[in-house]
Amino acid sequence: MEEGTIAVVRGKQIVIIKGVALRACAAAALRAVVDLGAGDGKWIYRLARVHPEWLCVAVDANAAGMREASRRAGRKPSRGGAANAWFIRASAEALPPALGGLADEIHIHLPWGSLPRGLLRPEPALLARIARLGRPGAVLSIRVNRSVLDDPLIQWRLLRGRPDGTRSTVSRGAPPSRPCVTLNPPSRPDGTRIDGTRREAIPPLPRRV
Ligand X SMILES: C[S@@+](CC[C@H](N)C(=O)[O-])C[C@H]1O[C@@H](n2cnc3c(N)ncnc32)[C@H](O)[C@@H]1O
By the rule CB under 6 A, 179 interacts with ligand X? no
By the rule CB under 6 A, 105 interacts with ligand X? no
Q: Which of 37, 122, 134, 179 binds ligand X (CB under 6 A)?
A: 37
**Secondary structure class of 43 (helix, strand, coil):** helix
Q: Which of 53, 93, 164, 195 binds ligand X (CB under 6 A)?
A: 93
Pairing of strands 103-109, 134-144: parallel
By the rule CB under 6 A, 96 interacts with ligand X? no
Name which of 114 and 169 has its Cβ closer to ligand X: 114
Name which of 82 and 88 has its Cβ closer to ligand X: 88
Q: Which of 32, 54, 65, 134 binds ligand X (CB under 6 A)?
A: 65
Q: Which of 19, 26, 39, 103 binds ligand X (CB under 6 A)?
A: 39
- How far, CA to CA in Å, does 35 sit from each of 92, 139, 157, 176? 11, 12, 25, 23
Distance (Å, whole) CA 157 – CA 181? 12
- How far, CA to CA in Å, does 46 sit from each of 73, 125, 130? 9, 31, 23
Distance (Å, whole) CA 8 – CA 19? 10
Q: Which of 92, 140, 142, 148 binds ligand X (CB under 6 A)?
A: 92
Residues near ligand X (CB under 6 A) are 37-39, 60-62, 65, 91-93, 109-115
